Amino acid sequence: MAKFTGKYDEIFRGVLLLVLLALLVWQYLAAVTNVLTPLFLALLVVVVAFGMRVPWARGLGYFVAGLAVVWFFSIIWKLLFPFVAAFVIAYLLSPIVGRLADRGVPRGLAAFVLILAALMAVAAVLLAVVPPIIGQISKLVATFGYLPGRLEDGFARASEWLVELEEYEPSPYVKPLIDDLIGHAQGLFEALLKRALEFVTSLSKLATHIINIIITPIFTFYLLRDMPKIKRWVRERIPRRFVEDAVETYAEIDRVLAGFIRGQFIVSAAEASFVAVGLTIIGVEYALLLGIFAGIANMVPYVGTYIGALPAVIVILMGPDVMTRLLWALLLYVVVNIFDGHILAPRVVGRRVGLHPVVAMIAMLVGARFFGVIGFLAAVPVTATLKILAKKLERRYLEGPFFKQPPASRDAGGPPE
């Protein structure tokens, strides 16, 4: 009997111990979750995997490490935005700093002055362009915001009119229809209000933006000043057997991108100013906004100018004096398109990046779908870069043994039938 009690006692104690241990582990785990970040765990896995002598462990280690890198960047990519912006700006400005440096200006000074000038230019443009644009946008929003109210009035008047006409309550079939329409109009109005509120809350994110605005020029300065050193640093660390290829490929991408960016900037700026001035003369509202839109739309091959013309047509249709203004505006866009296609573009050679127009358009659609305006703007340069890389790979493949190896002759190698 005593034996039994002792046994049950021990089992009971054992279970209790397990429960307590589980609780303890659970508590500890809860306490250390801050330390057990995915990054730390991934590091542990990698260390353990590379310590093992099993062939698949190493592969697993690489896989986990890759996953951790992807995870890390997916968490912090928003923090990287000012640095990416700084890289892009430094890339755009570095030829100018290089040329100044050739003339004996120290790189640091050249970079500083250039960034200062760029900041002042941006500030000047913002001061000149933003208030009118905000005015135009708010007017546009007001026009559309006014619309639901007018619709409601219209429906109300229509129902009154129906009442008067029929001299009795609107039929039970028509009444819900009218109510429904009024409800829709109200929904639309509420949605617009909600958007406006969202805009206000987004202002609170301004602080982050201000920090970015400060970080970006500073980082740009260091990148610009030390560009040759950075390039050499990278070059010296590329495996020796790839360095030739890598530098050549970089030079090729650099040539195409620099040409494209410079050329596109010139063409877009020209088109934007022509359209803005022309529309102002014709007397179309929102001329500045429409001009900028035309400049951006110009990036789309072939049909860009006409895409750029669409909002202008809509604006004219909503205003007075439709026929004359429409004719003049269409004439303006056609003239701008001819000027762009036959006079400007052939002189700005670098704008061509060797992409088929259809490919460029698809790339822009895809870019815009996934990354918005930035995706749209970056689509052509990125695609052109990918094309250069793909060409390199193709050449390597065509020159490689995998492609060139002749088919095994049948009488020599093949297994007997």
Partner 1 sequence: MIAREELRKNRLFGEFSDAELDMVRVAADEGTYEDGRLIIAEGSPGERLYLIASGKCSVTTEISGAGTEEIRLLDEGDFFGEMSLIESAPVSASVYARGRCRLLWLERKAFDRLIAEDMPVANKLLRAIVLAFCERVRVTAAKIEGYYKMGKL
Cβ of residue 241: shortest distance to partner 1, in angstroms?
Answer: 10
Cβ of residue 231: shortest distance to partner 1, in angstroms?
Answer: 8
Residue 101, SS3 per DSSP: helix
Nearer to partner 1, 130 or 251 (CB): 251
Q: Which of 9, 153, 244, 321 binds partner 1 (CB under 8 A)?
A: 244
Cβ of residue 247: shortest distance to partner 1, in angstroms?
Answer: 4
Cβ of residue 232: shortest distance to partner 1, in angstroms?
Answer: 6
Nearer to partner 1, 238 or 368 (CB): 238
Query: Cβ neighbours of residue 258 under 8 Å, at least 6 residues apart?
Result: 95, 350
Q: Which candidate, 236, 234, 247, 203, places its Cα nearest to that of 87?
A: 234
Burial class of residue 398, CB neighbours in 10 A (0-12, 13-18, 19+) = exposed
Nearer to partner 1, 198 or 236 (CB): 236
Q: How far apart are CA 366 and CA 378, in angstroms?
A: 11
Q: Which of 164, 167, 198, 236 binds partner 1 (CB under 8 A)?
A: 236
Q: Which of 232, 356, 391, 395 binds partner 1 (CB under 8 A)?
A: 232
**Lookup: tokens for 395:** 């050449």
| Cβ neighbours of 67 (radius 10 Å) | 13
**Lookup: tokens for 285:** 């509202």
- Check binding of 239 to partner 1 (CB under 8 A): no
- Check binding of 235 to partner 1 (CB under 8 A): yes
Cβ of residue 244: shortest distance to partner 1, in angstroms?
Answer: 7
Nearer to partner 1, 232 or 395 (CB): 232
**Residue type at 107?**
R
Please work out, in degrees rounded to the nearest 5, the angle formed at the alpha carbon of residue 357 by the alpha carbons of 341 and 374: 95
Q: Which of 65, 151, 243, 365 binds partner 1 (CB under 8 A)?
A: 243
Q: How far apart are CA 35 and CA 71, in angstroms?
A: 16
Element (H, E) at 57: helix 55-76
Nearer to partner 1, 177 or 251 (CB): 251
Cβ of residue 242: shortest distance to partner 1, in angstroms?
Answer: 11
Please give the residues from 25 up to 44 whose contact with partner 1 meets the rule CB under 8 A: none
Please work out, in degrees rounded to the nearest 5, the angle formed at the alpha carbon of residue 234 by the alpha carbons of 229 and 235: 95
Greatest extent of the chain over all pairs of C-alpha atoms, in Å = 112
8 Å CB contact between 107 and 220? no
Q: Which of 3, 53, 205, 240 binds partner 1 (CB under 8 A)?
A: 240
15: left (phi over 0), alpha (psi -120 to 50) or beta: alpha
Nearer to partner 1, 6 or 228 (CB): 228
Please report where in the chains the tokens 């689509």 appear, as a residue: 379
Please give the residues from 101 up to 120 whose contact with partner 1 meets the rule CB under 8 A: 101-104
Cβ of residue 98: shortest distance to partner 1, in angstroms?
Answer: 8
Cβ of residue 106: shortest distance to partner 1, in angstroms?
Answer: 12
Nearer to partner 1, 107 or 325 (CB): 107
Please give the residues from 209 up to 228 whose contact with partner 1 meets the rule CB under 8 A: 228
- Check binding of 255 to partner 1 (CB under 8 A): no
| Cβ neighbours of 115 (radius 10 Å) | 21
Q: Which of 247, 310, 359, 365 binds partner 1 (CB under 8 A)?
A: 247
Residue 335, SS3 per DSSP: helix
Cβ of residue 221: shortest distance to partner 1, in angstroms?
Answer: 20
- In sign, the C-alpha dihedral spanning 172, 173, 176, 179 is negative
Cβ of residue 392: shortest distance to partner 1, in angstroms?
Answer: 16
Q: How far apart are CA 177 and CA 181, in angstroms?
A: 6
Total residues binding partner 1 (CB under 8 A):
15
**Lookup: tokens for 84:** 């990416």
Residues in contact with partner 1 by the rule CB under 8 A: 101-104, 228, 232, 235-236, 238, 240, 243-244, 247-248, 251
